[in-house]
Amino acid sequence: MGQEHIPEKPLDTTKYVIWQGELTSYWRIRLKSMILAVPSLLWLTLLLALPCLLLVGMAFLSRGQYGEIVFDPTWANIKRLGGYTTFGWSPAILYIIGRSLWMAFVTTFLCVLLAYPLTFHIATRPRKRKVYWLILLVIPFWTNVVVRAYAWLLILGPNLPPAKILAAIGLLNEGTPLYPGSLAVYLGMVSTFLPFMALPLYSSVDRFNWEILEAAKDLYGSPWLIFTQAVLPQTKPGLSVGIIVTFVPAMSMFVVTDILGGAKTMLIGNVIQQQFTQARDWPFGAALAGALMILTLVAMTIFRRRSGFDNQSNDVYVTKFN
Partner 1 sequence: MKDQINKGLVCYDISKTFTNHKALIDVDLSVEEGDILTILGPSGCGKTTLLRIIAGLELPDKGRIFLDSTEITRLPASKREINTVFQSYALFPHLDVYSNVSFGLQARKTPKDKIEKKVKDILSLIQMEGLEKRFPNQLSGGQKQRVALARALVNEPRLLLLDEPLSALDAHLRSQVQQELRALQQKLGTTFVLVTHDHNETKRLSNRLVVMNEGEIIQSGPTADVFARPANKFVAEFLGATNFMDASKMSDTVFDTPYGPMDVKNKPKWDKGKMFVWPEKIEIHNDSAPAGNNWFVGFVKDQVFNGEGLDLMLVKDRENDLPIEPLLVRVNTRLDVQSGQRLAVYIPPEHLVPLENPIIH
List interacting residues with partner 1 (CB under 8 A).
209, 211-212, 214-222, 225, 229-230, 233, 316-321
68 or 214: CB nearest partner 1: 214
Note the helical H segments in 157-209.
Answer: 161-169, 182-205
Contact in structure between 293 and 52 (CB atoms under 8 Å): yes
Which of 155-191 are b and which e, b meaning 16 or more Cβ less than 10 Å from the residue's Cβ? bbebeeebbeeebeeeebeeeebbbbbeebbbbbbbb
Task: For partner 1, give the closer residue by CB, 173 or 209.
Answer: 209
What is the Cα–Cα distance from 223 to 220, expressed in whole angstroms? Answer: 10
Compare residues 219 and 297 and give the one whose CB is closer to partner 1. Answer: 219
Q: Identify the sign of the CA torsion 66, 71, 76, 79.
A: positive
Nearer of residues 62 and 229 to partner 1, judged by Cβ: 229
Amino acid at 318: V
**Least Å distance between CB 284 and partner 1?**
47
Strands (E), the chain: 16-19, 22-25, 62-63, 69-70, 84-85, 88-89
Q: Do 166 and 173 form a contact (C-beta atoms < 8 A)?
A: no
For the bound state, the minimum distance from the C-beta of residue 231 to partner 1, rounded and expressed in Å, comes to 11
Residue 157 or residue 221: which is nearer to partner 1 going by CB? 221
Smallest separation, CB 166 to partner 1 (Å): 39
Instruction: Determine the residue type at 186.
Output: Y
State which residue, 71 or 224, has the beta carbon closest to partner 1: 224
Q: How far is the CB of 165 from partner 1 (least distance, A)?
A: 37
Closest separation in Å from C-beta 50 to partner 1: 42
| Nearest CB to partner 1, comparing residues 205 and 250 | 205
Total Cβ atoms within 10 A of residue 21: 6
Smallest distance from the beta carbon of 25 to partner 1, in angstroms? 35
Q: Least Å distance between CB 316 and partner 1?
A: 5
d(CA 182, CA 156): 13
The residues that bridge with 62 in the sheet, in sequence order, are 70
Q: Confirm if 60 and 76 have CB atoms less than 8 A apart.
A: no
Measure the CA–CA gap between 138 and 249, rounded to whole angstroms: 17
Q: Which amino acid is at 231?
A: V
Q: Are 209 and 156 in contact (CB under 8 A)?
A: no
Q: How far is the CB of 201 from partner 1 (least distance, A)?
A: 18
Cβ-based nearer residue to partner 1, 144 or 228? 228
